Each structure stands twice: as C-alpha cells, then as structure tokens.
Amino acid sequence: MTAILALEDGTIFRGKGFGYQGRQSGEVVFNTGMTGYQEVLTDPSYAGQIVTMTYPLIGNYGLNDQDSESAAPRVRGFVVREACDHPSNWRAREALSGYLARHRIIGLAGIDTRALTRRIRNHGTMRGFLSTLPEDVNRPEALAAEAAQLKLTGPELVRSVATTETYRLPGHGPRVVVLDFGIKQNILRMMAGMGCDLAVVPGYTPADQVLALDPQGVFLSNGPGDPKDVPEAIVSMRELIGRRPIFGICLGHQILALALGGDTYKLKFGHRGANHPVQDLATGRVYITSQNHGYAVDAESLPPDVTVTHRNLNDGTVEGLRHRDLPLFSVQYHPEAAPGPEDSRYLFDEFLQMIHEQRMC
C-alpha cells in the first residue's frame, strides 16, 4: 500500500506502508542507532513522536519477548529505508510488520531516510502526519497544512506513559523511591539486580507522599516531552533536595536542574541514538552513550553551587551535573543503555555509594 509522510513545511515523502493502516500525527525525529529498534519502539520517551531510523535495514533480527522497554510500542509512527519481511534470529518471535500491525503503529518504508534526516538536521524537528488513507495520499498538501497546526507537547505525554499507581519491587538493599515519568524497564532491572528495594510512584507524586515511603534515596526517571510540562514534579523536587540522595536520568536530569533554579531549552533536532560521545570533565575520559531527548539544560542558568560534570562532544551541551554540597547528581544520557553501550553503568554504583555514605552520617 502507498503511504506518505507530510511535514509541516510542505515536504512530502512517498513510499510503501507497512504495519497498521490509517493516519497518525507526531513530532518527526531520527535515531542513529544501528540496532535496538525494539527498544526504540517501546521506549516511553518516544511518546508523541514519529521515529526515523537512519540505519538502512530494520527488522532483520525480528522482535522477541525479552527486549521491550515497556509493555507496548510508544512511538506514533515508524519510518525506515528498508523493512525486512523475513527476519533471521533464534530469539525472534515476530516480524516487524506484524508487530506494528498488532499494536496499531503505521510504518513507512522505501523513502530516502538520508534526505529526511538532513532536512531535520538543517531545519529542526517538525510536526508531521503519516497516512495510508487514499484521501491523504492523493492530497498530501492538505495533510502538510494540517500538520502545521498540530500541538505536540503538554502534560498528557508523561501521564500517558507513567504509572498511575504505586507498586513495589522488593529487595534486600536500600529503599529507593522511583519517580516514574515513563521509565525504561532496564533501569528497574538494573537497580533491582543491585538489590534495591524499589517503590515506583507516578512522577508527579508530592514530596510528602514520597517521604512517607521512607526512602533512603530518590530516583528520577526518563520520560517524554518538555520538562516544564510537569511543574508538579519540579515543586516536589524542590522540597526533596537535601533531604535524600537523588539521582536523575534524562527528563529526570532536566527536572532536577529546573528544581535547582536552572533553565532548559529545546534542541534543534535532539540527540537520539547509541553512539553519542560524552566527556567526564573531571577525568577527561570519553564515554560512548545512549541518548534520547529533545531538550537540554542551559549551563549559564545553573546556580554557583551546581557543577556541570559532563559535556556532549558533538555540540557541547550539558550531559551531567552535581551539587557541590548536597547529595545529588544527574545525567542527560542513559547509563542503563538498552540499546547501546554499557560504558556508564558505574553511575548506578555511585548512587548506591552516595546512599551508603548518607546513612553513615
């Protein structure tokens, strides 16, 4: 079936539809990872987005029952150069097209994904529509005009992927309250594997309810959208800072920066992929990191008692921060990977060490 991607600037990409049939809108972004498409599809941070994979062949190893980062795909659409119909891998349980169809996700294949990526890099992320409907395919200009009117951010993004109820993952180690803004499962797997006694709560939970769970540490998860769209979390963090050790990742990093008095801004086209170089400013060591975000912390806005600890070597943006006196730190990238390199998993050990040191005080 013929399908189109119509961008808000009037650019039209026409190719072959696969997966589900229909129409869907979203923010059009690109991911530079060579593998890990199942993790990308199910990463809650992609809520509200149509994801383009820059690697030319997607689906060749199928999808399985172990590698999902949430219960279902979170993307609104999926764009590839070539979709493999016959995967070959001993772990595969399903082909990409059938998986997308089952979860009502529209796919588009056969377009020049290099041209689409260059357009996003040159002009920034754009609103767009994916459609297989004949009335849209035959009138793409009208669909592009409709895309220009879309509103894609808002508090509903986080609420659509975060837990609505508190749940426990018992462990023999320190109790950590996890503020869930759309958490990836590998974060929970890692902390549970280290013995943490986890209480997972909605990201907008007030500080008094967090403290009522008697945590020895507080963790802020990744999630979709603009950090300023979850003001309740910013208020809650202001009340928690200095009272418990805190570790934040991705959206959690941005929310923590806002709570400390800093500011955030939208990047031109974001960082999405498993090959982003980040430098630890204290040691000079460079880590290859997994990333997925469209906003960044403004370094100049941070108060004097907050130190920038890591920088992105591609564009110099803030990738980590730490308070000079209080037990808290955060990173913009994903130390739990999934997909991506495992270079930065030591940060979870640092968080547990911080909790231990505070318990000894």
Secondary structure element (H or E) that encloses residue 193, with its range: helix 185-193
Helix (H, G, I), strand (E, B) or coil at 312: strand
Report the pLDDT value the prediction gives residue 317, as an integer from 0 to 100.
98
Catalytic residue among 276, 293, 323, 334: 334
Compute, in degrees rounded to 10, the torsion defined by CA atoms 58, 64, 66, 68: 50
Q: What is the mean pLDDT of residues 86-96?
A: 97
* Structure confidence by residue, pLDDT tens digits, 25-48: 999 999 999 999 999 999 999 999
Q: What is the mean pLDDT of residues 266-289?
A: 97
| Burial call 165-197: b when 16+ CB within 10 Å, e when fewer | eeeeeebebbbbbbbbbbbbbbbbebbbebebb
Report the pLDDT value the prediction gives residue 40, as an integer from 0 to 100.
98
Q: What is the mean pLDDT of residues 83-88?
A: 96
Q: What is the mean pLDDT of residues 288-317?
A: 98
Q: What is the mean pLDDT of residues 51-74?
A: 97
* Structure confidence by residue, pLDDT tens digits, 329-346: 999 999 999 999 999 999
Given the DSSP bridges, would you call strands 217-220 and 246-249 parallel, antiparallel or unpaired? parallel
Q: Tell me, yes or no, if 84 is annotated catalytic.
A: no
* Structure confidence by residue, pLDDT tens digits, 118-147: 999 999 999 999 999 999 999 999 999 999
Shortest CA distance to 19 belongs to which of 113, 130, 129, 156? 130
Beta bridge partners of 292: 272
Catalytic residue among 8, 27, 69, 336: 336
In whole angstroms, what is the distance from residue 94 CA to residue 103 CA?
12
In whole angstroms, what is the distance from residue 91 CA to residue 62 CA?
8
Burial classification of residue 16, based on how many CB atoms lie within 10 Å of its CB (0-12 exposed, 13-18 middle, 19 or more buried) = middle
Whole-model pTM: value is 0.96
pLDDT classification of 359: cutoffs 50, 70, 90: confident
pLDDT at 301 over 70: yes
Catalytic residue among 250, 276, 310, 319: 250
* Structure confidence by residue, pLDDT tens digits, 257-275: 999 999 999 999 999 999 9
pLDDT at 155 over 90: no
Percentages (nearest 5) of helix, strand, coil residues in the chain: 30, 35, 40
Q: Are 106 and 3 in contact (CB under 8 A)?
A: yes
pLDDT at 151 over 90: no
Question: Domains along the chain?
Answer: 2-147 (3.50.30.20), 156-360 (3.40.50.880)
pLDDT at 361 over 70: no
Q: What is the mean pLDDT of residues 167-186?
A: 97
pLDDT at 79 over 80: yes
* Structure confidence by residue, pLDDT tens digits, 224-238: 999 999 999 999 999
